[in-house]
Chains A and B, each alone.
Chain A
Amino acid sequence: MDNIQKHLLEQIADLHDVPQGAYSLRINGALHGKNSSENIEIVKKEDKPGIDIYVKPGTKKESVHIPVLLSQTGLKELVYNDFHIGEDCDITIVAGCGIHNGGDETSEHSGIHAFYVGKNARLKYVEKHYGSGEGSGKRVMNPTTIIELRENAYMEMETAQIKGVDDTVRETKAKLEKGATLIVGEKLMTHGDQYAETRFTVDLDGENSGAHVVSRSVAKDNSKQLFVSHVNGNAACSGHTECDAIIMDNASVSAVPEIMANHTDARLIHEAAIGKIAGEQLIKLMTLGLTEKQAEEEIINGFLK
């Protein structure tokens, strides 16, 4: 790995080098290295780019890192990663993509991640996206996440795209069986002329299933954002979707939260709020000695923390 790639890796995974334990590292469109552990097997797909990750039932307190780095301008790739999480597991998966584009051509990574989470398993999935580079070529990322949670499975998904991604369409589709829970926390910041679109579709199919989808975003400069979520209550379940956005400069934010109840015992809530930073928040921090600019940064950092 060169220094640019190491920087990307640090940004998206807090790693300084190749991770320990089970991992798969993809650099510039090719598998750079992978390692399976006793309980987690990583297998390269034969028919298309990507990997299959098999986690043995009952695996606890283990983690998998699957970072993707792109530093070659003009590279476009579509990768399929499938995660098969056995019953009763309790694991963490850290994914992420960093693009450094120093050239004029568009660099693009599209990842399709499918999670099949077994009965009673718990999964924490962390995904960070980051872009850098002075080139005029765009940095594009289009992640698709497919989630199937079996009975009483629990998944927490944290995604963050804070800097440098010019164009993104994020799509997440989830199906929940009886007693399953999905918690999604999305953090998004766009600046310059960036565009970010994020779409969630959650089907609460099983009795006592529950989903909590929360997106917090900041749109600066001339950037545009679109948030769309559909939460469908098809059983006695609970669902909550929330979009909370701070808008600045000449940005534009659209939030379309939709809830649909197909069962009388489905309890669904949606919330959406878009607004600029409250003047009183700025004033409060200024009375502590911060300049207006510093106050703004603190408020945004806190909001996206």
Chain B
Amino acid sequence: MLKLENIYYSVGGVDIINGITIEIDERFVAITGPNGSGKSTLAKIIAGIITPTSGKIYLDGEDITDMSITDRANRGISFAFQQPVRFKGITVKDLISLASGKKLTITEACEYLSEVGLCARDYINREVNASLSGGELKRIEIAMINARGTKLSVFDEPEAGIDLWSFQNLIKVFEKMYERNKGSILIISHQERILDIADKILVLKGGRIDKIGTKDEIMPTLLGVEMGCRYVKEDK
């Protein structure tokens, strides 16, 4: 599905990504690691938002390294921002319609919203502006990815900036997405419960892959001293 080959990225003499080579074929892959380890940069490199200094990116065998964001999106890469963007005048329905690539009926758009736990009728005609909370925006961001239904969906810290109540729902959304999604999900997360449903976990450190393995191999090491208190086991 997705292959990164020797990816390097540096800016202003600072190395952010230091030679990453990975292949992602599993249905649910999580990337984790401390702040500043290069996780978000790597996600943006995959989406085409950042151009790597060197290295190659392949999607289903096709070299997409020099492709624009638009071309990659149309070839099946979706990207959910860590900090969703606000738009004056553009409604939730407009964005979900744009994401799906066709004009949606209210019922269709509502289905995508209900899936992420938003009461559709309250949101469908709302503007995606500052009147929406961070948690609401995050869920709309996920609804857009669902509406796209592409073969690769990349999520950059979907749990960041949302309240606890939203978080509980968010986990359910990803669990459901995992059951249903036919493509691959690549998710950057610090959350144990999200890592817990991953088929494969990559741990990034200093712009390199520090560890790679199944959750059974990786999780015990994350819950140890090394990552400090970022990973707290929750009651389920």
Contacts and interface: CB of A to CB of B under 8 A. Distances in A.
B68 A286 contact: yes
Interface string A179-221: 0000000000000000000000000000000000000100000
B85 interface: yes
A285 B98 contact: yes
Contacts of B49: 283, 287
29 contacts: A216-B88, A216-B89, A244-B88, A278-B85, A281-B85, A281-B87, A284-B84, A285-B98, A287-B49, A287-B69, A287-B78, A288-B73, A288-B95, A288-B148, A289-B73, A289-B101, A289-B148, A290-B98, A291-B70, A298-B90, A298-B94, A301-B89, A302-B87, A302-B88, A302-B89, A302-B90, A302-B94, A304-B89, A305-B89
A303 to B, nearest CB: 5
Interface of B: 47, 49, 68-70, 73-74, 77-79, 81, 84-85, 87-91, 94-95, 98-99, 101, 144, 148
How many chain A residues sit at the interface, stated as a range, is 20 to 34
Contacts of A288: 73, 95, 98-99, 144, 148
A298 B148 CA distance: 18
Nearest to B78: A287
Interface string A263-305: 0000000000000001011011111111110000011011111
A283 B85 CA distance: 9
Contacts, number: 57
Nearest to B47: A287
Contact of A283 (B69, B78, B91, B98): B69
A290 B70 contact: yes
Nearest to A299: B87
Q: Chain A interface mostly helix, strand, loop or mixed?
A: helix
Contacts of B101: 289
Contacts of A298: 90, 94, 98
A301 B88 CA distance: 10
Most chain-B CB neighbours within 10 Å: which of A287, A289, A292, A303?
A287
Contact of B90 (A216, A283, A286, A299): A299
Contacts of A280: 81, 85
A289 B77 CA distance: 9
A299 B84 CA distance: 15
Given A299-B90, A302-B90, A302-B94, A286 B73 contact: yes
Query: 5 smallest A-B Cβ distances: which pairs?
Result: A302-B90, A302-B89, A286-B69, A289-B73, A284-B85
Interface string A205-242: 00000000000100000000000000000000000000
A253 to B, nearest CB: 16
Contacts of A244: 88
Contacts of A281: 85, 87
Given A285-B98, A288-B144, A288-B148, A303 B88 contact: yes
Given A284-B81, A292-B70, A302-B89, 19 more contacts: A216-B89, A244-B88, A278-B85, A281-B85, A281-B87, A284-B84, A286-B70, A286-B73, A287-B49, A287-B69, A287-B73, A287-B77, A289-B73, A289-B101, A290-B98, A298-B94, A299-B90, A301-B89, A305-B89
Contacts of A292: 70
A278 B47 CA distance: 18
Contacts of B94: 298, 302
A304 B73 CA distance: 27
A177 B101 CA distance: 50
A216 B78 CA distance: 31
Contacts of A289: 70, 73-74, 101, 148
A299 B128 CA distance: 12
Contacts of A290: 70, 98
A303 B74 CA distance: 25
A280 B73 CA distance: 15
A283 B47 CA distance: 10
A287 B79 contact: yes
A299 B90 CA distance: 7
Given A287-B47, A288-B99, A303 B69 contact: no
